[in-house]
Amino acid sequence: MNLNKLWVLVPIYCFSVIFSGFQPEKELLTEKKSWPKASRYLEGVPIYEKFSDLESLFQFENDTTYVINFWATWCKPCIEELPYFESLHKKYQDEKIRVVLVSLDFPRHLESKLLPFLDKHQFASTVLVLLDGSYNDWIDKISTKWSGAIPATLIYKKGERKFFEESFPNYDVLEASLP
Amino acid sequence: MKNILFFATLIALLAFTPYTPEGGVEIGELAPAFNLKNIDGNMYSFENIKDANGETPKGYIIVFTCNTCPYAKANETRLIQLQETYGPKGYPVVAIQPNDPTLKPGDSFEAMKANAEEKDFNFLYLIDEEQSVFPQYGATKTPEVFLLDENRILRYHGAIDDSVRDEEGVETKFVEKAIEAIENGQEPSPTTTKSIGCGIKKAR
């Protein structure tokens, strides 16, 4: 490749990166009023100390479908199904479907395990961390059907809610679960 | 031929039916019997489980737990303390490992023995080899406690306390409170709690 071509390609690449970066922002605008405010950020990853801070994520009334997966880096079946959620996000990123991966990793593992894991996998889906350890106070607010075992996934659109306390065996089963 | 088709359909249906945590033993119901191998090689059932004084128990702290789950590990010391305090009072801890070791080699019988030795477990540590006991109880994760009274009636189901992840944050000790309630002839409150835990590993 000669250098001239490179000078053309670099700006195009930069623009495409910038614009693809803006796409989730468009989606965010519709949720802007109530998108949960993080307690803090760790290398760009939003951390929620209390469930109440995150609660609006499970209550949006816009016409977006939210696919919210609860996982942790030490949970093998969780890790195995994460690629299906990523594929779902990639396939539907231009539609009103938002995939959110809620990490339940322990506070002491955020820097030692979670950040390196995220660094390695570079998820395109929204990733956030919920640290609230008063599980008995909030599990029922996600779903009364949830015993607390992970992996677990909530898929909802307005009032229509489906809860899955199991891992998805493949991508097709996950996609078929969309409303 | 019809029979074969029927069973093939049944098996296919069963294979594709997602595992649902519903069912199992409810508060106030009789807990299922079991006969499981302990890490010492002996079989244990409600017929031969004794308290720390060798007496017939006044209750049983049944806990589904394992070697590998970070939540289970975070509760090992608490189980040892429960056995220390309540074993002599008639409430022995009976730990049951429900995971399939082919899916989770760290939960094999040998690994259970090694873990128990390393941590000085003072309670029974049984293996649910056939994975037949945990579904009857309705257990879905580790750790998960089923507190039974002397008649094997389920009186409390859930977490050991309100801070499963770390002991320092504990404010309410659910299992201890429930035992005290039973001792005083009262209903435990709460009778059920929820906590995050590792889904029990079972082949699909």
For the segment B111-127, what is each residue's pLDDT rounded down to a tens digit? 999 999 999 999 999 99
Asked whether the beta carbons of residue B70 and residue A106 sit closer than 8 angstroms, the reply is yes
**Model's pTM, two decimal places?**
0.84
The predicted structure's pLDDT at residue B189? 97
Asked whether the beta carbons of residue B164 and residue A135 sit closer than 8 angstroms, the reply is yes
Indicate which of B75, B195, B196 best probes the interface with A, i.e. most A CBs within 10 Å of its own CB. B196
Asked whether the beta carbons of residue A166 and residue B198 sit closer than 8 angstroms, the reply is no
Q: Which of B22, B165, B198 sits opposite A149 (nearest CB)?
A: B198
**Taking CB atoms and an 8 Å cut-off, how many pairs form between chains A and B?**
73
The predicted structure's pLDDT at residue B15? 43
Three-state SS for B51?
coil
Asked if residue B9 has pLDDT above 90, the reply is: no
The predicted structure's pLDDT at residue B18? 37
Alpha-carbon span A71 to B203, nearest angstrom: 19
Query: DSSP secondary structure string, B100-161?
Result: -TTT-GGGSHHHHHHHHHHHT--SEEEE-TTS-HHHHHT--EESEEEEEETT-BEEEEE-SS
The predicted structure's pLDDT at residue B77? 97
**Token code pair at residue A164:** 């899955």
**Token code pair at residue B197:** 């835990």
A167 touching B, CB under 8 A? yes
According to DSSP, the residues that pair with A101 across neighbouring strands are: A69, A127
What pLDDT digit, counting tens, does each position of B138-178 carry? 999 999 999 999 999 999 999 999 999 999 999 999 999 99
The predicted structure's pLDDT at residue B19? 40
Question: For residue A154, how far is the Cα from the chain centroid?
Answer: 11
Asked whether the beta carbons of residue B199 and residue A77 sit closer than 8 angstroms, the reply is yes
The predicted structure's pLDDT at residue A33? 76
**Token code pair at residue A160:** 């229509």
Asked whether the beta carbons of residue B140 and residue A149 sit closer than 8 angstroms, the reply is yes
A151 touching B, CB under 8 A? yes
The predicted structure's pLDDT at residue B176? 98
What pLDDT digit, counting tens, does each position of B38-79 carry? 999 999 999 999 999 999 999 999 999 999 999 999 999 999
A166 touching B, CB under 8 A? yes
The predicted structure's pLDDT at residue B10? 45
The predicted structure's pLDDT at residue B23? 72
Banded model confidence at residue B12, pLDDT cuts 50, 70, 90: very low
A133 touching B, CB under 8 A? yes
Give the mean model confidence (pLDDT) for residues B166-191: 96
- Residue A80's alpha-carbon distances to A83, A85, A112, A167, B176, in angstroms, are 7, 10, 20, 8, 37
- Residue B183's alpha-carbon distances to A70, B90, B95, B186, in angstroms, are 38, 10, 22, 7
The predicted structure's pLDDT at residue B20? 39
Rounded-to-5 percentages of helix, strand, coil across chain A: 45, 20, 30
Whether A136 contacts B145, CB under 8 Å: no
Asked whether the beta carbons of residue B194 and residue A147 sit closer than 8 angstroms, the reply is yes
Measured between beta carbons, the chain A residues lying within 8 angstroms of B22 are 145
- Fill in the amino acid letter for A160: E
Residue spans of chain A under pLDDT 50: 1, 23-29
The predicted structure's pLDDT at residue A130? 98
Measured between beta carbons, the chain A residues lying within 8 angstroms of B104 are 76
Measured between beta carbons, the chain A residues lying within 8 angstroms of B166 are 106, 133
Asked if residue B32 has pLDDT above 80, the reply is: yes
B23 touching A, CB under 8 A? no
